[in-house]
A and B are shown apart, each in its own frame.
Chain A
Amino acid sequence: MNNNILHDFPLLGKKFGDHTVTYLDNGATTQKPDSVIKAVCGYYGGCNANPHRGAYALSVKATDIYESARQKTQKFINAQSSDEIIFTKNATEALNLIAYSYALPRLQKGDEIVISIAEHHSNLVPWQFVAKSTGATLKYIYLAPDGHFDRHDIETKITANTKIVAVTHISNVLGLINPIDTIAAKAHEVGAVIVVDGSQSVAHIAVDVQKLAADFFVFSGHKMLSPMGIGVLYGKKALLDAMPPFLMGGDMIEYVEEQETTFADLPQKFEAGTQNVGGAAGLSAAIDYLEAVGFHTIEQIEQELITYALHNLRELPFITLYGCDAAEGKTGIVTFNVQDVHPHDVATVLDSFGVAIRAGHHCAQPLMKYLGVNATCRASFYLYNTKEDIDRLIDALKKVRSIMGY
């Protein structure tokens, strides 16, 4: 199965210098299968026109491609209506849209925003901004020793004053699945909305936004086999309807007078300007690809890989693991350090053997501080990775300390 999948990804067979790449940075972005690349090329090579505008066949075709991608996305995450799917450039833009259009007009002094210490900066900095702008308080859910959210914190930090709870479905550093349904229930009990960052989940586990009871759910296409520059904001229709537009301009209007404008209905209200139709075509092909493989298989592949990786990493006495003690809910992300060696030097040495990992703070500086480290290494796996990839990671790791003079 794995080998067939590998052949669908043209970049993974290519040589860079002396090596074909062992790509273990899927938390940052995934590689793209042929079908996605062809869909993007096919759009620009065969159907390119500005959607929603031209009264000619090509524009109608472009509109079809764009709107059918929206419907496919709706089914993919089981939203009630395609009006609840807003295309953005990525998860970051989607989170900013919520911060500006939902939170800024509503929050005031005394209100609370609750996030977790394991958030990516994209689900942290916008909330800091909202808190500073409105006088609201920003509170954190911290972690239990095994890396999962502290249950007591979930119960006590979300209070009658809480208006927004914004948490990641799966942390990009720890790779642990968070109990969104429990947090959503608590948020709804106090009348707050829950914003879920699905950037690390939507490509790895089956997502049903209604089952999760998420009010908002965001993700980036490029972390799920799609091109960069296309992302998704899901929001419950009643919430989106009540929000003012985020960006103003063409295609999001109804009537424009000299002094007044009325806005288009959902979803156009939040899609000002010419949209990324080629990206939407790619996203659509990516969803087809993921559904053809199936999330049962994807989860199985990742579980095999993470189990194998953790087993081998634990054999190396100079490796410290982070967030790897949890008995359940671990996805294909492993964060670690090599004794005495800075993560950037580890990454450089691994790169010389063709192994691509991420090193640094992973856009999660408060989490790094909380874990008591300055930076870490992260290997993140996806459906095309193999046990041989992990063998190459382990072999290269064994050489790091001696190259660094230890």
Chain B
Amino acid sequence: MELAELYSDIINEHSRNPGNRRQLINADAQKRGHNPSCGDDITLSVSFDGDVIADAAFTGVGCAISQASADILSDLIIGKTVSEAKTLTEKFLAMIKRENTDDADLADLDEALALKNIANMPARVKCAVLAWRTLNDILTERQSIS
């Protein structure tokens, strides 16, 4: 895989200026995600307005891929319902695992599509999916209590 495909403008921009890397006051749900082998360590926070995700943000440290991925994820899910966000999360994970390669179906992942080719880099897959796995846990818990 070409480096320019991995470190694309979208990824570099989100990793250098992650607008959603901030503390979320009054978060309704918060979860830490960690890659013990490489040290990526983020905490994802979400606040809800009824069934809608009112805000999402993250804190922590990690490589450009993990940080850009968390930032893109946050952008994507703000304003979505829990079930819409869950569908997007599952779609993203399926894209990375190459279980879903249907570009038309994947289109609503928007900027997260920039991470599609990470599937070619087994060593970096865990960086890309960290925030999404963490969100998946938050949403699963939210669905089970509502």
Binding site for B on A (CB under 8 A): 340-345, 348-349, 352, 359-361, 365, 368, 374-375, 403-406
Binding site for A on B (CB under 8 A): 3-4, 6-7, 9, 12-13, 15-16, 37-41, 61-65, 67, 121, 123-124, 127
> Which residue of chain B has its CB nearest to the CB of A405?
B12
Q: How far is the CB of B145 from chain A (nearest CB, A)?
A: 33
Q: Are A344 and B3 in contact (CB under 8 A)?
A: no
> Which residue of chain B has its CB nearest to the CB of A359?
B38
Q: Are A345 and B13 in contact (CB under 8 A)?
A: no
Q: Are A404 and B38 in contact (CB under 8 A)?
A: no
Known: A349-B3, A375-B38, A403-B7. 6 other contacts (CB 8 A): A342-B62, A342-B63, A375-B39, A404-B64, A405-B16, A406-B16
> Which residue of chain A has its CB nearest to the CB of B3?
A352
Q: Are B121 and A348 in contact (CB under 8 A)?
A: yes
Q: Are B65 and A345 in contact (CB under 8 A)?
A: yes
A-B contact pairs, 26 of them (CB 8 A): A340-B16, A341-B64, A344-B40, A344-B65, A344-B124, A344-B127, A345-B7, A345-B63, A345-B65, A348-B3, A348-B6, A349-B7, A352-B3, A360-B37, A360-B38, A361-B38, A361-B39, A365-B39, A374-B39, A374-B61, A403-B3, A403-B7, A404-B15, A405-B12, A405-B13, A406-B16
Q: How far is the CB of B14 from chain A (nearest CB, A)?
A: 10
Q: Which of B39, B62, B124 has the most CB of A within 10 A?
A: B39
Q: How far is the CB of A377 from chain B (nearest CB, A)?
A: 12
> Which residue of chain B has its CB nearest to the CB of A343?
B63
Expressed in whole angstroms, the Cα–Cα distance for A361 and B35 within the complex equals 11
Q: How far is the CB of A42 from chain B (nearest CB, A)?
A: 34
Q: Are B12 and A404 in contact (CB under 8 A)?
A: yes
Q: How far is the CB of A375 from chain B (nearest CB, A)?
A: 5
* Given known A-B contacts A352-B3, A403-B3, A404-B12, A345 and B38 have beta carbons under 8 A apart: no
Q: Which of B3, B9, B12, B41 has the most CB of A within 10 A?
A: B3
Chain A residues with CB below 8 A from B123, complex form:
348
> Which residue of chain A has its CB nearest to the CB of B12?
A405
> Which residue of chain A has its CB nearest to the CB of B127?
A344
Q: Are B7 and A404 in contact (CB under 8 A)?
A: yes
Chain A residues with CB below 8 A from B6, complex form:
348
> Which residue of chain B has its CB nearest to the CB of A399?
B3
Expressed in whole angstroms, the Cα–Cα distance for A345 and B65 within the complex equals 8
Chain B residues with CB below 8 A from A404, complex form:
7, 12, 15, 64
Chain B residues with CB below 8 A from A340, complex form:
16
Q: How far is the CB of B10 from chain A (nearest CB, A)?
A: 11
* Given known A-B contacts A360-B37, A360-B38, A405 and B61 have beta carbons under 8 A apart: no
> Which residue of chain B has its CB nearest to the CB of A351?
B123
* Given known A-B contacts A348-B121, A352-B3, A405-B12, A342 and B64 have beta carbons under 8 A apart: yes
